Structure 1
Amino acid sequence: MKITEIVLPSVGEPESLEVRLRERPQPGPGQALVRVEASGVSFAEQQMRRGKYYDMPAFPFVPGYDLVGVVEELGAPVGGGKPGPVVGQRVAALTKTGGWADYVLLDAADLVPVPDGVDAAEAETLVTNGATAWRMLFRTARVRAGDTVVVHGANGGVGSVLVQLARARGVRVIGTASARNQEAVAALGALPVDYRDDVPARVRELAPQGVAAVFDHVGGKGIHDSWRMLARGGTLVSYGSASTRDESGNGTLTVLRLVARLALWNVLPNGRSAYFFNLWAGKARNPQKYRADLAEDLTEVFGLLRDGTIQARIDSVYPLRRAAAAMRHAESGTVVGKVVLSPSADDDSR
C-alpha cells in the first residue's frame, strides 16, 4: 500500500512542494503508525521553505510540525512504564517535520490522547499553539490571576490562544494587532492596541507600573520596546522573529543574536528577566520528563477546548495534496486562525 506525503525539495516558493508516494511503513518496537486526520501550516514551515528555520533538517524532507490522527497499527511494546496508545485511539503529536502525509510512523511514547468529543481539526489548532501558549504562560512567565500581560499578535495562532488561556485564569491582557483585527481581539477578552501606534506609550496608559509579562513573536528592533514595558519582576518571553521572515541571510544567526541580547538583559540588575522560548527544550536531555510535561500540558488545553472555555480558530482546511495553496494562503497576511491540511478533505475544500 502506498502513502502520500508532501516533500519540500529545496529552498523555494510554496509551489515547489512536491506530492510523492512511497511504501506504507510498518511500525517497529515502540512505534505507532498514525493515520493523519489533520496537520497544520505554521510559521515554522514558512521559514523552512526559505531555508531559515534555525534547526531544520537537510533537504529534501517532509514538513509538518504537528498532527492529529488515529492509531492504525502498533509495534511490539518496549520497556515498562504507563500504558501506551491503543489501535483506534485519536492522538496528537509534535513532530517538527513529517506531519504532511496521510500516514506517519511515530514513537508511541510521543503520542498524547485527544479526548472524546474533540474534533480532529480543532484539536490540531492547539497542538503546537496550545502547548506553546500554556508553557510560556504558566511554566516560563508563571503569570497569576490579577496580573497584566502584553500579547503581541493577539489575533494570531499562538497569540489568540495566549489571550484565551490568560483570560481563563483571570489575567488582564493587552493585545496588539492590526486595525482590522481590533474587534476580534476584543472579542477574545483582551484590550486591543494597534501595533502601528506608539505601543509602549499606550501600554503605559493602560498599565502605568508596567506589565508582568510580554509575549513577543516579532523580534527585531521591537524587542527593546517589549523589554521596556515590563514592571520590576516582569518577564519577557520571546518566541520568534517574524519581523525578519522575508529578510535575506542566515536564520540561525538571527535567532542566536536574539538569544544573546536576551541573555545580556538577564544580567542587568533591574529585577526583570528575559527568555527565548523553545518548545523542544529539554527533550534531548530528559525525554521521559519532556513527554510527561507535554502530555500534562496538552491534556489541560484539550480539556479547556472540550468544555468550551477556549475556542479553536480554524481559518481554512485544505486537502493534503493542495499543500502549496495552503502555504501560499498562510503567508497572505489575511489568515484568522489556523490553516489546516487534511488528507480526507475533498478537492472543493479551501
Structure 2
Amino acid sequence: MNLSMPIPARRLAVVFVALCVTPFAVAQLRSDPAAKKPMTRAPVGEAPNLASFGVVEWLQRLHTASRERSYVGTFVVSASAGNLSSARIWHACEGDLQLERVEALTGPARSTFRRNDHVMTFLPDTKVVKSEKRESLELFPNLLGAPDSSIADFYGVRVLGHDRVAGFDTDVISLVPRDSLRFGYRIWSEHRSGLVVKLQTVDGDGKVVEQSAFSELQLDAPVKVHALSQMMQSTAGYRVEKSELERTTSMAEGWALKTPVAGFKPTSCYRRAMGGAGARERTVQWTFSDGLASVSLFIEPYDAQRQPQEVVLMLGATYTMTRRLVDKGGDWWLTVVGEVPPQTLEAFAQSLARTR
C-alpha cells in the first residue's frame, strides 16, 4: 500500500479537515433524538450562551462556523517529534458550496483545491494533477440509521476558559475521551463565530502529541468562489491522474470484524488499483470513524519482495501499523492508519477476519 501524499503534507491535510470539525457530528444530530433540538442562534454580532452546551452542540457550532465563514490564513501543524508543516489557506462558501485552496509552504510544492468532495492536488515539480473524490468529507449517510451512534457516549466536554489566538478572542474547550481507545482534544474557537483557530491533540497523560493553529487569520475575507473554481480548473500543461476507486462493501470483499471496536462505525469501503489505472490487483480501503477520529484499514495481497517488515510508526497524532495476515483463504498484508492510540489499531488488527 502506497500512500500518495508525503507524510508531513498528509498530516497537514488531515488536521486541516479535522479543523472543519467533523461532518460526522452533524450526522450524529440526525440519529440521536436527544440532539435534534435546534441550536439557539445569537443575534448577529453576539456570541450564544455557551455555558450549557454539550459535546454535540459544541461540535455543531464548530462545524457550522467552518461552513458559513470565508477566510484566509496561514495554518501551522507541529508534532511532538519536531515535524513542522505550514500552508496558506483560502476558504470560500456560497450556499452549500464549499471551496478551498491549500498552498503548502513547507516540503515539496503542492496546491490542493477542494470543491465539496472533489479534491485536486497540483504537483508543479512533476506537472501532475491528482484528481479524486473523498467521501470522508461528506456527511456519512450510511450511519444515519444507527440508533446507538452518539458521540457523547465516547467524549465529554469541559469549558477551560478564554484565550487569544492570531488576534482573536477564543473560547477554549476540552473534548475528553471516556476510554483509552481515542485521544483527547483541546479546541480554541473564535468567540463570536465558533470557527476553530487552534487545536491540540492530547494523549491519556495529557501530553500534547500534535498542535495546529492559524498563525495569522483574516475572517470574512473577500475570497471569491468563482476565482478559486477557475484556478482549480486550470490544468493546462499538467497530466491529470484520476484516482481509480470502486465502491464496495467489506462483506463483498470477504472481510469482517469479529468484535466491533467501541464507538467506531464503518463509513466507507473502496477498492483501488495498486499499480495505477488498469492494474489487476486491488487494495481494499475500509474506513471507520467515531465522529472525531478515523481509522483506515488497507488490505492487499502479500508480496514478500514489496512489503517491508511489520512495524508501528508514529507521526504526531497519527499511528501506522503493518501486519501480515495468513489464513486458509490466502496471504495478506494489512496497513492500519489512524489518529488514535496504537492500542486502537491493534484492536482493529486483532479483530479483522477473513470470511471466505
Give your verdict on TM over 0.5.
no
Q: TM-score, normalised by structure 1?
A: 0.24
Which is helix-richer, 1 or 2?
1
Comparing both chains, which one has the higher relative contact order based on Cα–Cα distances under 8 Å and sequence gaps of 6 or more? 1
Q: TM-score, normalised by structure 2?
A: 0.24
